[in-house]
């Protein structure tokens, strides 16, 4: 049996019954990475010593007949913007190439407390800025379904690792779609909780009011199991919400008959690929077959979402990335004699083109004379987008849409046109700006065999309803790896 393809619950039962050991699973998973990852390059760093030590801890618990934690022995990967003690934390950037964090992110610590085996760190767009994982300073990651195409971004490595069987589940980060869009491109489940549901402590910041940590998995049930572990208030993160975490797994199998699902008319206009539209419309019909009431809703400020997002996100990036100046830690340009020269040369050599572009855009938007015209106005538009969702959720329990306007595009296809790359996030940034939870689940494939994702949004902190609907759709449609 290929132990690396079991579900989280299935693997736990096999461990408890003695059919396999956690070390055996970890060794098989590490061997699979060694054998296969040269094809797609999902990992930036692998940590076998840490993985096997955790596996041995789980095996000792099994031998002592102690209760097993919820993620016992589950091989997982972590996006390289989420710090892990002693393992390279580069954020996909040269400026942090030699950084070894002295602590674990809260999400990572909670995973290991729950028994997960951390295999290593996955590739990503530099500082999570991108939609294709081509902006990594080290190498691009490829889509397991077609290595000539991108896996999406910025969490492309985490999505590709799960899709290619190089991890049972993984963690990514989502600022404007960076979990949901690569989940769509790679044909896996990608979940972004409400803003504040999962601690951001240990997440290398891109845009602090938009950043989330969330899971990738093969199934909705596995994604729910991971969220159950990492969700909840963290005193180390002042933005984490003190909101009770329900039992997501217990809620999954509740019937969805009678629930109201909204279809936003603004998400089905120009720019939506015809094959993607056809698959998503089939998915909407599936909800009708499940007994849901499908209603049309309107999110009227959607047209302003991309401009709003790329003003707020770049402004916050400009502020957050100011710390990488060569003074306190990380890369410093050699042979500089003056402070200003050292700043300039360090940031010129350490940052890639997309990061520089966003820093400059954000600095401009925050500068004297332009703050009110750009950043402040974007914040007002963000409030209007938030209010769109609040009004829509007065009439429906969830909103369904495409995750991305297209299937995975070819490597290099959009690198010379940043605006076209930004438009890949057109259906995901709205939920990020509103702070609501979102999930992408597979809903079919194009004629070329490329996965298509269906996106669901729910009310703030109603991840249980989101997962319930996603699970019912997945069970009815049968689209799993």
Distance CA 178, CA 135 (A): 13
Residue 177 has pLDDT above 80, yes or no: yes
Residue 60 has pLDDT above 80, yes or no: yes
Q: What percent of the chain has pLDDT over 70?
A: 99
Token readout for 445 is 């494939």
Mean pLDDT of the chain: 96
Q: What mean pLDDT is predicted for residues 274-293? A: 97
User: Does residue 106 have a cis peptide bond before it, meaning omega lies within 30 degrees of 0?
Assistant: no
Q: What pLDDT was estimated at residue 418?
A: 86
Q: What mean pLDDT is predicted for residues 180-207? A: 98
Q: What pLDDT was estimated at residue 5?
A: 78
pLDDT band at 478 (very low <50, low <70, confident <90, very high): confident
Token readout for 310 is 């790329």
Q: What mean pLDDT is predicted for residues 160-164? A: 98
Residue 458 has pLDDT above 90, yes or no: yes
Q: What mean pLDDT is predicted for residues 30-49? A: 97
Write phi, then psi, for 213 (nearest 5 degrees).
-110, 140
Residue 457 has pLDDT above 70, yes or no: yes
1-481 to CATH, choices 3.40.50.300, 3.20.20.70, 3.90.1300.10, 3.40.50.460: 3.90.1300.10
Element (H, E) at 424: none
Residue 481 has pLDDT above 70, yes or no: no
Higher pLDDT, 4 or 423: 423
Residue 329 has pLDDT above 90, yes or no: no
Q: What mean pLDDT is predicted for residues 54-79? A: 97
Residue 335 has pLDDT above 90, yes or no: no
Q: What percent of the chain has pLDDT over 90?
A: 93
Q: What pLDDT was estimated at residue 420?
A: 87
Distance CA 370, CA 365 (A): 6
Q: Which residues are catalytic?
A: 79, 154, 178
Residue 337 has pLDDT above 90, yes or no: no
Contact 346, 325 (CB under 8 A): yes
Q: Which of 130, 119, 120, 147 is nearest to 93 (CA)?
A: 130
Residue 480 has pLDDT above 70, yes or no: no
Number of Cβ within a 10 Å radius of residue 353: 11
Q: What pLDDT was estimated at residue 270?
A: 87
Q: What mean pLDDT is predicted for residues 99-120? A: 97
Q: Which of 136, 158, 201 is nearest to 355 (CA)?
A: 136
> Per-residue pLDDT tens for 351-396?
999 999 999 999 999 998 899 999 999 999 999 999 999 999 999 9
Q: What is the DSSP string of 82-111?
A: B--TTS---TT-GGGTT---SS--HHHHHH
β-strands 293-297, 398-402: how paired?
unpaired
Among 8-17, 281-290, 425-434, which is the least confidently predicted range?
A: 8-17
pLDDT band at 2 (very low <50, low <70, confident <90, very high): confident
168 Cβ contact list (under 8 Å, min separation 6): 4, 6, 7, 8, 11, 29, 74, 75, 76, 162, 217, 218, 222
Q: What pLDDT was estimated at residue 53?
A: 98
> Per-residue pLDDT tens for 372-384?
999 999 999 999 9
pLDDT band at 253 (very low <50, low <70, confident <90, very high): very high
Token readout for 194 is 């409400």
Residue 130 gets the label, from left (phi > 0), alpha (psi -120 to 50) or beta, of: left
β-pair partners for 171: 78, 215
What are the extents of the domains in the chain? 1-481
Q: What pLDDT was estimated at residue 272?
A: 96
Token readout for 25 is 């699973």
Q: What pLDDT was estimated at residue 346?
A: 94
Instruction: Give the residue carrying structure tokens 């132990």.
Output: 3
β-pair partners for 118: 76
Write phi, then psi, for 18 (nearest 5 degrees).
80, 10
């Amino acid at each position: 049996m290929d132990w690396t393809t079991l579900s989280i619950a299935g693997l736990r039962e096999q461990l408890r019954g003695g059919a396999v050991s956690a070390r055996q699973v970890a060794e098989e998973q590490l061997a699979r990475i060694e054998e296969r990852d040269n094809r797609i390059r999902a990992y930036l760093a692998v940590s076998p010593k840490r993985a096997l030590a955790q596996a041995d801890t789980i095996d000792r618990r099994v031998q002592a007949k102690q209760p097993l934690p919820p993620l016992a022995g589950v091989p997982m990967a972590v996006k390289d913007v989420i710090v892990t003690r002693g393992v390279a934390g580069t954020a996909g950037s040269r400026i942090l190439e030699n950084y070894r964090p002295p602590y674990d992110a809260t999400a990572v610590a909670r995973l290991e407390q729950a028994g997960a085996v951390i295999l290593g760190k996955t590739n990503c767009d530099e500082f999570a800025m991108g939609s294709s994982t081509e902006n990594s300073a080290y190498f691009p990651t490829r889509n397991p379904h077609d290595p000539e195409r991108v896996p999406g971004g910025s969490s492309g490595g985490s999505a590709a690792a799960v899709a290619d069987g190089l991890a049972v589940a993984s963690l990514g980060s989502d600022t404007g779609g960076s979990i949901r869009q690569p989940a769509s491109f790679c044909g896996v489940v990608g979940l972004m909780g409400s803003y504040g549901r999962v601690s951001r402590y240990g997440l290398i910041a891109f845009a602090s009011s938009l950043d989330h940590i969330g899971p990738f998995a093969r199934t909705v049930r596995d994604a729910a199991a991971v969220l159950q572990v990492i969700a909840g208030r963290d005193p180390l993160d002042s933005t984490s919400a003190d909101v009770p975490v329900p039992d997501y797994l217990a809620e999954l199998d509740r019937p969805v008959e009678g629930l109201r699902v909204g279809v936003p008319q603004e998400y089905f206009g120009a720019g939506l690929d015809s094959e993607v539209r056809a698959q998503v419309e089939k998915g909407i019909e599936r909800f009708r077959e499940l007994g849901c009431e499908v209603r049309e809703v309107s999110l009227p400020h959607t047209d302003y979402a991309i401009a709003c997002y790329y003003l707020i996100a770049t402004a916050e990036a400009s502020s957050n990335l100011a710390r990488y100046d060569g003074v306190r830690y990380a890369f410093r340009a050699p042979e500089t004699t003056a402070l200003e020269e050292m700043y300039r040369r360090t940031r010129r050599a350490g940052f890639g083109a997309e990061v520089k572009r966003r820093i400059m855009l954000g600095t401009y938007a925050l500068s004297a004379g332009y703050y009110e015209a750009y950043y402040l106005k974007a914040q007002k538009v963000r409030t209007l987008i938030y209010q769109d969702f609040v009004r829509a959720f007065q009439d429906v329990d969830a909103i369904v849409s495409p995750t991305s306007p297209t299937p995975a595009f070819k490597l290099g296809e959009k690198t010379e046109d940043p605006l076209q790359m930004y438009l890949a996030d057109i259906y995901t940034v709205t939920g990020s700006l509103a702070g609501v939870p979102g999930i992408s689940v597979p809903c079919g494939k194009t004629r070329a065999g490329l996965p298509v994702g269906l996106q669901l949004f729910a009310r703030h902190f109603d991840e249980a309803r989101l997962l319930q609907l996603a699970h019912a759709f997945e069970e009815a449609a049968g689209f799993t790896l």
